[in-house]
Copies of this chain bind each other. A is one copy, B any other.
């Protein structure tokens, strides 16, 4: 048996299913798309779909399941099961957290559950690395830091709330290159939404060293924080929107790895 530095997306899903993988997925499956997961009762699917249409930077919708179907459209995650293939899940009931993190959600899946896959910024991290723009949390083998902000989403039906951001530090002179490299990734959050130390005030981030999700950042002298919209946003929206029934998300940073290749979702 050979040891592989880069397991395929199918292997990562298999490892999540068997319990071998319980950590975050940053840096895994270079060249492939990673996805945030949100599973909702069918009665909220139309409002949520429109929330994604109205907020494509925070909530870039990649795919939506048929109600009750745990599988995926052909080519997305072949042989996969949405209730077992994510390394960690978070479960909400009636708008409150009931499981902070759990290994599978077979017991929570409902007959009318609908799964949404939302683009994840991990998808563009190997493009940054290939451009010599090293991604700090990968270097440091940490999860990306994520912060709640005061930037409101455009509401849709029952759903409203603020966007969540992920942060990667870069030297100020590299910010324009960082913007350019990530710009074509429109289906995985695209270019940053704010950057520089001034951005903390604009976004309403009180303490850069205390992210709401993920690991604390490592920022070196002369670097500035660069913020991208983050697919954890829908989970904060769920908490904000008083909806009824079981809602399931991924544990922040622990994504579903898709068979889709990056070039399949790049904009011109």
Interface on A for B, CB 8 Å cutoff?
A: 50, 53-57, 151-152, 154-157, 179, 183, 186, 190-194, 202, 229, 267
- Considering only CB atoms, which chain B residue lies closest to A57 in the complex? B154
Residues in B whose Cβ lies below 8 Å from that of A156: 183, 191
Q: Are A183 and B57 in contact (CB under 8 A)?
A: no
Q: Are B56 and A193 in contact (CB under 8 A)?
A: no
Q: Can you list 26 contacts pairing A with B, beta carbon distance less than 8 Å?
A: A50-B183, A50-B186, A50-B190, A53-B56, A53-B186, A53-B267, A54-B57, A54-B186, A55-B57, A56-B56, A57-B154, A151-B151, A151-B152, A152-B193, A152-B194, A154-B190, A154-B193, A154-B229, A155-B191, A155-B192, A155-B193, A155-B194, A156-B183, A156-B191, A157-B179, A157-B191
Residues in B whose Cβ lies below 8 Å from that of A54: 56-57, 186, 190
Number of chain copies forming the complex: 2
Residues in B whose Cβ lies below 8 Å from that of A202: 152
The minimal Cβ–Cβ distance linking A50 to chain B, given in whole angstroms, is 7
Residues in B whose Cβ lies below 8 Å from that of A53: 56, 186, 267
The minimal Cβ–Cβ distance linking A34 to chain B, given in whole angstroms, is 20
- Considering only CB atoms, which chain B residue lies closest to A192 in the complex? B155
- Considering only CB atoms, which chain B residue lies closest to A155 in the complex? B193
How distant is the Cα of A53 from the Cα of B60 in the complex, in angstroms?
A: 11
Residues in B whose Cβ lies below 8 Å from that of A152: 151, 193-194, 202
How distant is the Cα of A154 from the Cα of B154 in the complex, in angstroms?
A: 12
The minimal Cβ–Cβ distance linking A174 to chain B, given in whole angstroms, is 17
